[in-house]
Every structure is written in structure tokens, then in C-alpha cells.
Amino acid sequence: MPKLYLQRHLKSQWNVENRFAGWTDAPLSKQGLEMAQEVASKFSNEKIDVGFTSPLARNMQTVIEIHKYLEKYPFFSHIDGGKMQEQGNFDKVAENCTQFFVTEKLNERYYGELQGLNKAETKQKYGEEQVLLWRTSYTNAPPGGESGQDVYNRVTPFFKEFVEKELKAGKNVLIVSSHHPLRSIIKYIENISEENMVKVEIPFAGLVTYEFDENLNLKSDKHFTI
């Protein structure tokens, strides 16, 4: 039966500095790099057939760092042009590699005017209550940015078109992404209400695993786990 693995990226330098990262690239932090081997150990007995990630450096770097401790290497192909195509000579190296398809659809939530700002300083500027609303509300977006609902509307059509196709083919799929895209996938899979989305939190380097039957029905009553 196919499995879906949702892996949040390792902690980035901007995470350490408590900044709103959004679509801004920031490398993994020293703490993040030190977590790679532990995260990789979760996949030591698992078979990953295909992967998906975003072009943000912290996501692609997480894929690379994790695979340093696995028997296979990541082979990246970009799919934002339309169809999911294997590029280059993947067939020749497939035995030693896992294909990862890269798409901006899996980018983190866009924080607009808040991107790059320190979160504590942002609370001083806009007020703690307003910043809390932007961060936790499903429908409220920061100035010039995306709401949780905007991310959901971006991610779920991609998930239905590309990821469900692989799962229906019986493949185990790994998605390495940022917090809000992964939360959107969890909402879609578990049909979580907007009001309860505030309870869905994935820590840095956190892993959520789902197992499905041939009709993509969840096999376990216990779904959202870390």
C-alpha cells in the first residue's frame, strides 16, 4: 500500500534569527545541518519511489543533506513548465537515485511586507494581536502576502494532479517542503476545518506519515502524527 511522507525542512538560518522567511532564500543553519542524520534515520527502512520539493534553498538543501545518509541520491527535475517529465539521463542513473520534482507550488507562504522582518520587532511595529492574527488566522493575509487559504488553493490542485497520481500507482511519495504547504496537504487529506487549522503544527524537521489503500483511503484512524 502506498505511503506519503511529509517532511518539514531542517531549521534555516532565518529560522534561528526568528525572521519571516516566506519566499526568501536562506541556507540551513548549523543546528539544521546537525539534524540531518537523525531525520535520515527515519527513512532507513522505508522505500521512497519519488519525491517532490520546492526550489527554495532550505527545502532543496534538506533533500540533499538527508540523502547524504541514505543509499540513494536525489535527482532534481523542474516541472513548473507543465508536465512531469524525467529530464537528462535519469533512466541511466535511476538505480542509484530518487527523482525529485521541483515546483514553486510547494513554496512557503508568501509573507509580503513581513518577509525578512524579525518576528519580535514585527510585533512591536504592528502590535502583538495583529501579528498573531496574520500568523494563525486561515483567511487573514499579511500586507501584500498570502493567507493560509491562499496557500491551500495553490497547493491542493498540484497535489491532486501530480502527487495523487503517483500514490494511485502504488508509489511511496516523499514531499519535502515548508510549514504552510504541508499544513495545507494535511488539511486536504484529513478534511480539517478552518477553525481547527490553528492546531496543526509541524516542528522543524518534523515528519508526518500517511498510509493509503488502493483507493487512497487512509488505512489508520490515527492520522496526523510527528
Residues acting as catalytic residues: 9, 108
d(CA 72, CA 67): 7
d(CA 212, CA 148): 26
| Residue 33 and residue 65 in contact, taking contact as beta carbons nearer than 8 Å | yes
Residue 216: helix, strand or coil by DSSP? coil
d(CA 134, CA 136): 6
| Residue 59 and residue 27 in contact, taking contact as beta carbons nearer than 8 Å | no
Q: By C-alpha distance, which of 149, 155, 145 is closest to 111?
A: 145
Residue 169: helix, strand or coil by DSSP? coil
d(CA 7, CA 154): 19
